Amino acid sequence: MQIINFDLEQELWMQEGSCVYSDTELFFPVGSSMKALKQAAEAKAICNECDVKLDCLEYAIRTNQDSGVWGGTTEDERKSIRREYRKSGTLVNF
Protein backbone atom coordinates (compact mmCIF):
# COMPACT_ATOMS: atom_id res chain seq x y z
CA MET A 1 0.00 0.00 0.00
CA GLN A 2 1.32 3.43 -0.93
CA ILE A 3 0.82 6.24 1.54
CA ILE A 4 0.39 9.63 -0.07
CA ASN A 5 1.87 12.32 2.12
CA PHE A 6 0.77 15.89 1.55
CA ASP A 7 0.24 18.99 3.62
CA LEU A 8 -3.50 19.68 3.46
CA GLU A 9 -3.09 23.26 4.69
CA GLN A 10 -0.54 23.95 1.97
CA GLU A 11 -2.79 22.47 -0.67
CA LEU A 12 -5.69 24.67 0.38
CA TRP A 13 -3.96 28.04 0.15
CA MET A 14 -2.40 27.13 -3.17
CA GLN A 15 -5.83 26.47 -4.61
CA GLU A 16 -6.93 29.95 -3.59
CA GLY A 17 -4.10 31.74 -5.36
CA SER A 18 -4.94 34.31 -8.03
CA CYS A 19 -2.45 32.56 -10.28
CA VAL A 20 -4.28 29.23 -10.35
CA TYR A 21 -5.53 29.81 -13.87
CA SER A 22 -2.60 31.93 -15.05
CA ASP A 23 0.19 30.85 -17.35
CA THR A 24 2.84 29.27 -15.06
CA GLU A 25 5.64 30.62 -17.26
CA LEU A 26 4.61 34.16 -16.35
CA PHE A 27 5.72 33.46 -12.75
CA PHE A 28 9.10 32.06 -13.78
CA PRO A 29 10.78 34.71 -15.92
CA VAL A 30 14.23 33.76 -17.14
CA GLY A 31 17.13 36.22 -17.01
CA SER A 32 17.02 40.00 -16.75
CA SER A 33 15.96 40.99 -20.25
CA MET A 34 13.26 43.61 -20.72
CA LYS A 35 10.85 40.79 -21.55
CA ALA A 36 11.68 38.97 -18.28
CA LEU A 37 11.34 42.17 -16.22
CA LYS A 38 7.97 42.88 -17.83
CA GLN A 39 6.89 39.30 -17.13
CA ALA A 40 7.89 39.59 -13.45
CA ALA A 41 6.04 42.89 -13.11
CA GLU A 42 2.93 41.32 -14.60
CA ALA A 43 3.18 38.34 -12.22
CA LYS A 44 3.69 40.64 -9.22
CA ALA A 45 0.59 42.62 -10.21
CA ILE A 46 -1.42 39.39 -10.04
CA CYS A 47 0.14 38.59 -6.63
CA ASN A 48 -0.82 42.01 -5.31
CA GLU A 49 -4.48 41.11 -5.83
CA CYS A 50 -4.09 37.67 -4.28
CA ASP A 51 -5.78 36.76 -0.99
CA VAL A 52 -3.08 34.24 -0.05
CA LYS A 53 -0.08 36.43 -0.83
CA LEU A 54 1.43 36.20 2.66
CA ASP A 55 0.89 32.42 2.88
CA CYS A 56 2.63 32.12 -0.47
CA LEU A 57 5.55 34.32 0.54
CA GLU A 58 6.05 32.51 3.83
CA TYR A 59 5.96 29.16 2.03
CA ALA A 60 8.55 30.39 -0.48
CA ILE A 61 10.81 31.59 2.32
CA ARG A 62 10.43 28.45 4.45
CA THR A 63 11.01 26.09 1.52
CA ASN A 64 13.80 28.14 -0.08
CA GLN A 65 12.10 28.73 -3.42
CA ASP A 66 15.00 30.31 -5.28
CA SER A 67 13.36 30.98 -8.59
CA GLY A 68 10.19 32.60 -9.77
CA VAL A 69 7.72 35.09 -8.37
CA TRP A 70 6.14 33.99 -5.07
CA GLY A 71 4.04 36.17 -2.80
CA GLY A 72 4.70 39.21 -4.94
CA THR A 73 8.49 38.92 -4.72
CA THR A 74 11.25 37.93 -7.08
CA GLU A 75 14.08 35.61 -6.04
CA ASP A 76 16.38 38.60 -5.43
CA GLU A 77 13.82 40.36 -3.27
CA ARG A 78 13.34 37.20 -1.18
CA LYS A 79 17.05 37.03 -0.26
CA SER A 80 16.84 39.88 2.23
CA ILE A 81 13.41 38.78 3.45
CA ARG A 82 14.84 35.28 4.02
CA ARG A 83 17.75 36.65 6.08
CA GLU A 84 15.34 38.52 8.35
CA TYR A 85 13.01 35.55 8.56
CA ARG A 86 15.86 33.32 9.75
CA LYS A 87 16.68 35.80 12.52
CA SER A 88 13.17 36.52 13.73
CA GLY A 89 11.02 33.62 12.47
CA THR A 90 8.48 36.08 11.07
CA LEU A 91 8.07 38.20 7.97
CA VAL A 92 8.88 41.40 9.87
CA ASN A 93 9.87 43.78 7.11
CA PHE A 94 7.31 42.91 4.55
Looking at beta carbons only, is 2 or 60 nearer to ligand SF4? 60
What are the backbone angles phi and psi of residue 42, rounded to the nearest 5°?
A: -65, -40
Looking at beta carbons only, is 29 or 72 nearer to ligand SF4? 72
Which residues sit at the interface with ligand SF4, rule CB under 6 A?
17-19, 27, 46-47, 50, 52-53, 56, 69-72
Amino acid at 46: I
Nearest residue (beta carbon) to ligand SF4: 17
Looking at beta carbons only, is 50 or 81 nearer to ligand SF4? 50
